[in-house]
Structure 1
Amino acid sequence: MTVYHIVQFQFKALVPPDEDKAACQRVLDLETNCLHPASQKPYVKVLGGGKDNSLEGQQHGMTHAFILQFENEDDRRYHVEKDPAQLEFAASIRDILEEVQVIDFTPGVF
């Protein structure tokens, strides 16, 4: 069953714009850099995101958002807990983030 993984970032105030842009590009690169352990093929079905441009003013400090789609819960779990590309990326941005929010959902499950 499809799982969506939504990640929101708030970069620290003193992070240069080129550094947060580079971090955002590394998020987007996960679509091809994350390989399934059995097939060695990309398993992130969809990945998109970017800088906030909402008109509603409900961002609560979050400045960037990304959504990833996985075919199933096992792929999502592998991504979050074991994928070397994802773990390396997460470690690379830890020091430049003020806040991170993550929410996952399965369509139609309320």
Structure 2
Amino acid sequence: MKIKVIVLLISISFMSNAFAKTDKNKTTTMIQTDSLLRHTVFFKFKEGTTAEQIKKVEDAFSALPSKIEQIKGYEWGLNNSPEGLNKGFTHAFFLTFKSEEDRAIYLPHPDHKAFGAVLTPFLDDVFVVDYWTKQ
């Protein structure tokens, strides 16, 4: 019986830590030596955007890794899922960073902002998901 109580108390302790709220005034920077930060970006283009205009966006995004040294990895591709659940999003871009600091340099970087100026006239919608993954 004592063992069950101890196991229960330890379980409650772990669960309370898992759901603990953090102080919103504190910022936490995550740098994980065995992990990589993935920054995923998905585009849906406006109706009527030409293949030439889309190619211009693809080329501009693909040029960023050569301009921004914090980008440690890059790949992109077109949706080809047979499920039909892409909701009009056609392009997926995956950038890799070693730290949140590197991503923080990338986001306001002048070359990233210049890419935004190329993209914006043709963009209908975008969504971004960032996550840590093992190397």
TM-score of the alignment, normalized to the shorter chain, above 0.5: yes
Residue 63 in structure 1 maps to residue 97 in structure 2? no
CA displacement at 1:56 relative to structure 2: 2.2
- Structure 2 unaligned runs (5+)? 1-31
TM-score normalised over the length of structure 1: 0.85
> 2:109 maps to which residue?
83
- Distance (whole Å) between structure 1 residues aligned to residue 44 and residue 86 of structure 2: 10
Deviations 1:48-79 (A, max 9, x none): 10221112222111010100000100001111
> 1:103 maps to which residue?
129
> 1:15 maps to which residue?
49
SS in 2 for 1:67: strand
Q: Any conservation in 1 of the 2:70–2:103 contact (CA below 8 Å)?
A: no
> 1:38 maps to which residue?
none
Structure 1 stretches of 4+ with a deviation exceeding 3 A read none
> 2:12 maps to which residue?
none
Name the count of aligned residue pairs.
100
- Structure 1 unaligned runs (5+)? 35-41
TM-score normalised over the length of structure 2: 0.70
Q: Which has the higher helix share?
A: 2
RMSD: 1.2
- Distance (whole Å) between structure 2 residues aligned to residue 57 and residue 33 of structure 1: 35
Letter in 1 for 2:70: Y
Q: Any conservation in 1 of the 2:70–2:105 contact (CA below 8 Å)?
A: no
Bigger Rg over Cα:
2
Greater RCO, CA 8 A, separation 6+: 1
